[in-house]
Amino acid sequence: MQSGRAKTKKWILKFKDKKPGINPLMGWESSTNTDSEINLEFSTIENAIKYAKKNKINYEVVEPKIRKIIKKSYTDNFTK
């Protein structure tokens, strides 16, 4: 299986949900704060941090995981 790498060069600012609650009608988790539905995309980490500082938003940087690429050919599926 191959995983695509489209849209992986962006930094995303996500807002955390402050107090999720239980919807009394359906029993689903819900919130009155709609900020958690917003994702802001930035081309660089510096732009994302600058925006967060300018708007006094607490932030945490999560570095992307390094992918380990194992190159193999189609015939390797049958020869081992």
Nearest to 45 by CA among 11, 74, 78: 11
79 HSE (CA, 13 A, CB side): 5
- Bridge partners of residue 42, in order along the sequence: 11
Q: Which amino acid is at 63?
A: E
pTM of the model: 0.62
As averages over each run of 10 residues, the pLDDT of the chain (80 residues) reads: 72 80 79 79 93 91 84 82
